[in-house]
Amino acid sequence: MTSGIVLVGARGRMGAMLCAKAAEKGISVTGVDIPLGTETLAQACVGVALAILCVPAAFFEETVRAVCPHLPPEAVLCDITSVKELPILQMEKHWSGPVVGTHPLFGPAQGDDKPVALVPGGNASPEHVALVRNFFLSLGCRVFETTAGEHDKAMARIQGMNFITSLAYFALLADREEILPFVTPSFRRRLDAAKKMLTEDAGLFAEIFHANPHSLEAVRQYRQMLNLAASGDIELLCERAKWWWQDQHSAQ
């Protein structure tokens, strides 16, 4: 009978946070990290019902190949990557058992609201999905179910475009010492908000951007909005943008 949980990537920021949160809630999780030797994985995967991969996309398939031979046949293979279409394909390529993709939509310094997108793979039964859902619910997360395509399209616009538009904007204004005396409080707020993303985490966000198959489509759609601005249709853009402050959206 399998019942344990193994988390691969336990020393990474997200992996360490999930392990700590599980320990705080009294949930037993076996954490492993590199080097992922055969003996280490074999011992960690004995009797596990759930294996959670918390590794960067660049090392994801390599990690899947290393872990899968040691899992019990009925174990659920799960990930937390920021894209879902490719990782689920890679997991199902190497694992014939149940696969459930997830994406915690918060970072290591999580706030009160901790949403998690949950994407069942083709071999995942309702019981397998419930196992993963209950794990995150037990950590105090809010879980909702979606598809890999819906997830990646949404993240290309929410996460990817937030990164790319900020990157392009501040790259445009770089090396312009003459504008510094004109910096306003609203500009400073945007600058401060983008600092961590464009300095500490730029490599991570660039990797996510490249891994998401819908990123370039989102950039093309954004370019259409810029074309409207370039033609002077500012009022039209303002009306569209107000959608975000309608009651049903601002309350979320």
Are 8 and 16 spatial neighbours (Cβ–Cβ below 8 Å)?
no
Residues 180 and 138 in one domain: no
Residues 205 and 236 in one domain: yes
Bridge pairing between strands 115-120 and 99-104:
antiparallel
Predicted pLDDT of residue 112: 83
Rounded average pLDDT over 119-127: 95
pLDDT classification of 107: cutoffs 50, 70, 90: confident
Q: At which of 85, 112, 146 does a domain end?
A: 146
- Whether the pLDDT of residue 9 is over 80: the answer is yes
Are 163 and 86 spatial neighbours (Cβ–Cβ below 8 Å)?
no
Residues 138 and 165 in one domain: no
Domain extent at residue 90:
4-146
Residues 101 and 212 in one domain: no
Share of the chain above pLDDT 70, in %: 96
pLDDT digits (tens, 9 = 90+) for 46-97: 999 999 999 988 889 999 999 999 999 999 999 999 999 999 999 999 999 9
Residues 105 and 199 in one domain: no
- Whether the pLDDT of residue 250 is over 60: the answer is no
Residues 12 and 46 in one domain: yes
Residues 42 and 65 in one domain: yes
Predicted pLDDT of residue 251: 47
Residues 104 and 31 in one domain: yes
Instruction: Show Cβ contacts of residue 6 under 8 Å, excluding neighbours closer than 6 positions.
Output: 29, 30, 31, 32, 44, 45, 48, 50, 51, 52
Rounded average pLDDT over 103-108: 92
Alpha carbons 67 and 97: distance in angstroms, whole number: 13
Predicted pLDDT of residue 208: 93
- Whether the pLDDT of residue 159 is over 80: the answer is yes
Predicted pLDDT of residue 108: 84
Rounded average pLDDT over 30-53: 94
Q: At which of 146, 166, 200 does a domain end?
A: 146
Residues 136 and 99 in one domain: yes
Q: At which of 90, 124, 146 does a domain end?
A: 146
State whether residue 145 is helix, strand or coil.
Answer: strand
pTM, two decimals, is 0.91
Residues 141 and 220 in one domain: no
CATH code, 84: 3.40.50.720
How many separate domains does the chain show? 2
Residues 172 and 191 in one domain: yes
For the chain, what is the mean pLDDT? 94
Residues 189 and 159 in one domain: yes
Please name which of 76, 93, 78, 66 lies closest in space to residue 18, comparing C-alpha atoms: 78
